[in-house]
Structure 1
């Protein structure tokens, strides 16, 4: 909890109550010896409150969050009343400039936290970010998309056994809350361990800004600000949310071309046809079925598969009643319904034929 009566210094700039600044964090040097810096906007409210970071493009090709943060920065319709907000549109600038998930040394920045001053370039970069941003914040929101050739229905991932993480995850307003502490070295796991409860939001695909996914993210960030008392108003939440603790990737059993029978965000019942695999001449069909009742969290966007490749990511729900309840809450929430409709247009969904 920061004291709004005092001037704060952020990355070499003094910032008083009610002020904002566009600044940058120097993180490393290029081959020519020039400084490489991450752009960041810092805003302060007039009253005391928590310090929160919102970051995107930790994987440099995941840009939906970048679009959402840029929208928030350019939107004059909302006001930060208390606390301090750090908005970082692109965290992995080196990957972003190469249209790549990874850093130039092929390391995943999201496996390198909290970093090391004497380690690899990725580890040094992680340490600068961790020490200059995370260590000074009370909460964090990290915006992601699915990996290349995949898409995700908007969902929040966090250690839901941690009370403050659960509070943020619920307030964000996605219909799906996915429990997990995160991989070792990931930003959310190490930040939460440090005492800065952090959630990850997944939605959409790489290399693009999808308006419906970005809208989910902007609403969610504002929801969290309201929950923390940093803005006026109450969070806009769906009628119900589901907490998922078990997921399973359905993988192709044979090579061929996949016909999908579901879309991201769909509710499915145990035994329901998910996808049918066949030759290019539609022969030798092999069908994937839901192993349990649940939700389609994500799926491949590449219909051509080989044996063992991931096709659909399913999150388990308790029973068919929960499945119907989830479908109803998606239909009743404008933001989620729009995301569901838009993401479905990127997938050719067909009706399974009788076997």
Structure 2
């Protein structure tokens, strides 16, 4: 394993935003320098970025794989597990690493399968001090552990790239139908998400301190994919992510091939959580990816001894983005996350009904539904 030079937090040691121009110049040359590791055109190497040290003094390192095509071109970073328990993206990046047929014809890939290595080691969303790395960007070389890690990631990965894709899942005890979240008011971000080809895009800047927002502010158009659950590598989520990543690589001229179009496209600006008003056992009537109207039954809450109680209805028109995977609920707890589709909802529903059962959209909908209990709302 090739290791980079040791990076520390001395002021001025980590590259600043001004180094973007230097990186842009260097990538047009034969050799790309990562610490003491040189990566030439057509080469692929592993480097390790040292972000901290354990109490025993051993280095804490982020593993990075850099793959360069035979010709200079765009640089795309793909990252996963910024939240250490969200490892579907890790599985997707590993598939890229293992794919013998994915050959770059130009440009460079920076693959970061696990960003939050400390959270990953503990199967935790957070760092050991309970800070959220994805709320710590752009960070500071003299700040907390999270702040120092964020600064290094920004300087050593994001600043080197022209574009970025950050892979996420739902939070613990929830699942998400695949959806892109991006600031579509930035033209290059819009073009990047259109190339990815996701059915649902939530148009938002992202919370303050998150990686994608800091990357965009640093001049690297970046979006995130939200799909599936924590602590899992779900095969259909991986298939979905790889379809989109390859679409982007094709549109950027980095690999050969023809992009695959999604079943439909819709961009939404608002979402809403449907919450329970009573407690009990949940029987769902919809699954992730379903289209719902105001008044559509979402779930029924039964008592533990079988008495039927509250029926939860959708208060919005839209698409089911996410759901709780807990089979029980209590008053005020979130049950279903709806993306509000302002228009064209009926046309989308018609497209979905016409899709074959073996389409990726239908397969991933059915697969995600296995994490919950879906029953006919008219059952006796």
**TM value normalised by structure 2:** 0.89
Equivalent residue, structure 2, for 1:336: 361
Please state whether the residue corresponding to 1:48 is helix, strand or coil. coil
Structure 2 distance, partners of 1:114, 1:322, is 41
CA contact (8 A) 1:174 1:336 kept: no
Residue 209 (structure 1) aligned with residue 230 (structure 2): no
Given candidates 240, 245, 253, the residue that maps to 2:277 is: 253
Mapping of residues 29-178 of structure 1, within 5 Å: 29-178=53-202
Retained in 2: the 8 A contact 1:4–1:45? no
Q: Does 1:15 align with 2:39?
A: yes
**SS of structure 1 residue aligned to 2:164:** strand
Deviation at 1:332, TM superposition (A): 7.8
Q: Displacement, 1:353? A: 3.6
CA distance in 2, matches of 1:45, 1:329: 40
Deviations 1:86-144 (A, max 9, x none): 00110100000000010000011000001011111111111111111111111100000
User: How far is 1:335 from its partner?
Assistant: 2.4
CA–CA separation in structure 2 for the residues paired with 1:234 and 1:21: 28
Q: Which runs of 5+ in 1 are unaligned?
A: none
Aligned alpha-carbon RMSD (Å) = 1.7
Give the superposition deviation at 1:51: 1.1
Secondary structure of 1:47's match? Answer: coil
Offset of 1:281 from its aligned partner? 2.2
Residue pair 1:170, 1:177 contacting (<8 A) in 2 also: no
Label 1:207 to 1:239 Cα distance change in 2 as closer, same or farther (>3 A): closer
Aligned to 1:236: 260
How many Å apart are 1:293 and its aligned residue?
2.1
Give the SS at the match of 2:148.
helix
The aligned residue for residue 282 of structure 1 is 306
Structure 2 equivalent of residue 350 of structure 1: 375
Judged with a 3 Å threshold, the aligned counterparts in structure 2 of structure 1 residues 97 and 230 are, in CA distance, closer, same or farther, namely same
Deviation, structure 1 residue 354? 7.5
Which secondary structure state, in structure 1, belongs to the residue aligned with residue 194 of structure 2? helix
Identify which range, 26-35 or 322-331, moves more after superposition.
Answer: 322-331
Pairing of 1:310-329 with structure 2 (within 5 A): 310-317=334-341, 318-325=343-350, 327-328=352-353
Query: What is the deviation of 1:337?
Result: 2.3
2:263–2:351 contact (8 Å) kept in structure 1: no
Question: Is 6-15 or 323-332 further displaced after alignment?
Answer: 323-332
Q: Is residue 2:242 matched to residue 1:218?
A: yes
How many equivalent pairs are there? 355
**TM-score, normalization by structure 1:** 0.96
Q: 1:278 to 1:160 in 2, by over 3 A?
A: same
Partner of 1:82, secondary structure, is coil
- My pick for the range that moved more, 130-139 or 6-15, is 6-15
Unaligned runs of 5+ in 2: 1-23
Quick one: distance in 2 between partners of 1:202 and 1:241? 16
